[in-house]
Amino acid sequence: MRKLLLLFVVLTTGVLFTARLFYLQVYDTSATTLSESNAVKEQFEIPQRGRIYDRNGKLLVSNQPSYDLMAIPREVVPFDTLALCKLLNITKGDLIKQLSKARKWSPRQPSPIVSTMSQEEYAYLGEQMRKYEGFFIQKRSLRDYQIDFGANFLGYIQEVHQGIIDREPYYKMGDLIGRQGVEQQYEELLRGVKGVTYLQKDRFNRVIGPYKDGALDQEPEEGKNIYLTIDSELQKYGEQLMVGKRGGIVAIEPATGEILALVAAPNYDPALLVGRERSINYTKLYNDSIAKPTFDRVLLGEYPPGSPFKALTSLIALQEDAISLSDKVYCNGGLRYGRNRNFGCHHHRSPVQLVTGIAYSCNAYFATAYRNTINKYDTPQEGIDNWNAHLKSFGLGDFLGYDIPIGRPGYIPDSKYYNRSYNYPQRRWGTMATVSNSIGQGEVSMTPIQMANFSAAIANRGWFYRPHILKKIQGQDTLPQQFEQKNYTTIDPEHFEPVIEGLNDVYNYGTATHLRIPDIEICGKTGTAENYTKINGKRVQLTDHSTFVAFAPKEDPKIVIAVFVENGYWGSRYGGRIASVMIEKYLKGEVTQKHLENWVLNHTLEDEYAKPLSGKPFSINDGKKIVGQFLLNQEQETTD
């Protein structure tokens, strides 16, 4: 018996120890991470970020070295704070704040204390650094902009925050990441891959050699250079034209879908968002809630397209066989329908057919074409849905799928929308309730880039490539697949010719005769979109937006352009002039129509934009109308 007890004690011990080993080694995995952090040191080498070129190989964005002062809080030994503050040119409070923030994030991992110091600051500091244990200097590269435009599509780089680190473990505190524009879209290409060296430390935190003989180490992979589809000359010119105006210009090469220019106005110098001043400058730009320079109007602004939409109304009517080329529509200042209802139009020759209808932009004609298109079906619901499907095939009413990370879908209404808003079936609705759609008003809205895209589809006679800004990745021959695939519209190619004829006649005898450019056959369409804002909670009409779409040359088009100028009054006034000179600039390389160019350069709309903020009644549409009378009453009320 006694022998058995001893055997039992020995065996029990063995089992107990094995259980404890199982707990420590297999069950509880916290030791693994702990050991990594106390025995293995990761040292990163951050590769040069890829450069950005334009379509002609002109360098737009390169890099400049920058230096971060990093600290590993656990390894910081007490030091002369004042001396370091003096070197860094920061206050003691800031230094202590940064250090405690770093400690809070991780006592073992390096955190930035002062980021993005310049070469000079670094040179000053470098000599002294070894006095401060636990601190070291991490070299990074910052953007060096060769141009002072294009901030809206280039984007910028910024330090990662905790949210990003949690989502993507690749990034560590103090790393830089692309935000907005191509910097964000092609972040992974541009940034390359960080190099990592793993080092074995001993218990005194000294490096005693490579970890696993460097088997896990990774060489840094340089960021790839990318070429944009942007023509920097055209872009620069576009931004000059847009000074003092709000809105945007989109230019696309229709045969490829390449974005030639993407002007958002007002814009800002991309160099503002580099280095230590980035955050301050960004806040300033962001807080400008009046001009909204950070609001990219060409990608985010959803506006009623106005008359350029008539080209689509025509195409759908032709495809649906709802109107023929020879059908005439009489316009006597508009289209009368129902009892005492009139769909107004401006003064022009009457009657009109399709081609002349486009050239004169006759509202009555397109209202008729639209009505016939919808009424071809038994119910307006079916008609609207069919119409909606045609428009969707032009990339409208949905995100366009271009390679810039922001965008809006715009809106193309369908039967569900009208059923809901008219409370169908309790109340019925008819085609004429939606007739504003025919001329690009009503419920239809789209972004300027969507306008450029549908124009490209017309220029191509029925298909388009998704617009994109990436032309070429260094060392790669192919683009992302979605940009190399043709998207066909639901309209048969033969219907495009008469519409294009009409768009061309806009310049020949229509609404844009004064915008002709010698030797270039331009097709285009003016647009004037009513718009409203709210002042003190009341709906107030503002001066109309000026919209314009155009492509040239008529045969084998090389450029499609969509211009949108907020409160520019009528289509050909700002939009048309800008479109003409941009087209000439791109196709000829120079501008001969100096009178158009000078007019645009010499006119600003700042006065117009200041009106709604004046607090007084103001005139819109060149004094044709005075709005905001209620402001006067309010003033009296307050003075009484």
- Does 208 bind another protein (CB under 8 A)? Our answer is yes
Residue 85 touching another protein (CB under 8 A):
no
Map the footprint of another protein across residues 349-408, applying CB under 8 A. none
3-state SS class at 3: helix
Query: How far apart are CB 407 and another protein at their closest, in Å?
Result: 48
Contact 561, 575 (CB under 8 A): no
Which helix or strand (DSSP H or E) is residue 594 part of? helix 594-602
Residue 221: strand pairing partners: 193
By beta-carbon proximity to another protein, the closer residue of 201 and 328 is 201
* Site size with another protein, rule: CB under 8 A: 38
Q: Least CB distance from residue 18 to another protein, whole Å? A: 5
Distance in Å, CB of 110 to another protein, minimum: 19
Residue type, 201: K
**Beta bridge pairs of residue 495:** none
Q: What are phi and psi of 242, to 5 degrees?
A: -90, 5
Record the tokens describing residue 82, joined without a space: 């004042």
> Nearer Cβ to another protein, position 9 or 77?
9
- Tokens encoding 235: 């872009």
CB-nearer residue toward another protein: 33 or 287: 33
**Stretch near another protein under the rule CB under 8 A, chosen from 17-25, 340-348, 358-366, 369-377:** 17-25
**Minimum distance of another protein from residue 215's CB (angstroms):** 10
Nearer to another protein, 76 or 433 (CB): 76
Least distance in angstroms from the C-beta of 62 to another protein: 40
User: Using CB under 8 A, which of 92, 97, 104, 212 touches another protein?
Assistant: 212
CA angle 518, 521, 526 (to 5 degrees): 100
Query: Among residues 205 and 593, whose Cβ is nearest to another protein?
Result: 205
Out of 89, 96, 209, 616, point to the residue binding another protein (CB under 8 A): 209
- Residue recorded with tokens 């009139």: 342
Considering the rule CB under 8 A, would residue 20 count as an interface residue with another protein?
yes
- Smallest gap from residue 41 Cβ to another protein (A): 10
CB 554 within 8 A of CB 289: no
Q: Min. distance of Cβ 242 from another protein in angstroms? A: 60
Q: CA angle, corner 499, sides to 497 and 502, nearest 5? A: 110
Q: What is the DSSP string of 428-477?
A: ---GGGGGGGGGT-TT-BB-HHHHHHHHHHHHTTSEEPPPBSEEEETT--
CA distance readout (Å), 416 to 397, 422, 424, 625 = 14, 10, 9, 36
**What is the nearest approach in angstroms of another protein to the Cβ of residue 474?**
39
What token pair was written down for 53? Answer: 């070129």
CA distances for 281 relative to 68, 142, 161, 288, 421, angstroms? 20, 16, 18, 11, 44
14/338 with CB nearer another protein: 14
Minimum distance of another protein from residue 13's CB (angstroms): 6
Segment interacting with another protein, rule: CB under 8 A, options 201-209, 246-254, 400-408, 460-468 = 201-209
How far apart (Å, rounded) are the C-alpha atoms in residues 466 and 480? 11
Q: Which one of 29-37, 344-352, 458-466, 524-532 is the stretch in contact with another protein (CB under 8 A)?
A: 29-37
512 closest CA partner among 503, 345, 520: 503
> SS3 of 489, please?
coil
> Interface with another protein includes 26 (CB under 8 A)?
yes
Q: Per rule CB under 8 A, is residue 82 in the interface with another protein?
A: no
21 counts as binding another protein under rule CB under 8 A: yes
Site track 35-74 with another protein (rule: CB under 8 A), x = hit: xx-xxx----------------------------------
| Contact flag: residue 77 with another protein (CB under 8 A) | no
Q: Which of 365, 376, 278 is nearest to 329 (CA)?
A: 365
Pick the piece of the chain touching another protein (CB under 8 A) from 6-14, 307-315, 324-332, 355-363. Answer: 6-14
Of 98, 220, 219, 107, whose CA–CA distance to 159 is shortest? 98
Q: Could you say whether residue 243 binds another protein (CB under 8 A)?
A: no
CB 46 within 8 A of CB 140: yes
Asked if residue 632 binds another protein (CB under 8 A), the reply is no
* Residue 200 touches another protein, criterion: CB under 8 A: yes
Q: Candidates 34-42, 220-228, 349-357, 365-373 — which segment interacts with another protein by CB under 8 A?
A: 34-42
The span of 25-33, 496-504, 527-535, 559-567 binding another protein (CB under 8 A) equals 25-33
Question: Are 140 and 112 within 8 A, CB to CB?
Answer: no
Our measurement of the distance from residue 590's CA atom to the centroid of its chain's CA atoms, rounded to an integer in Å, reads 28
d(CA 558, CA 588): 12
- Confirm if 346 and 585 have CB atoms less than 8 A apart: no
Q: Does 22 contact another protein by CB under 8 A? A: yes
Pick between residue 212 and residue 588 the one whose CB is nearest to another protein. 212
Residues lying near another protein in the complex (CB under 8 A) are found at 2-3, 5-7, 9-11, 13-14, 16-18, 20-22, 24-26, 28-32, 34-36, 38-40, 200-203, 208-209, 211-212
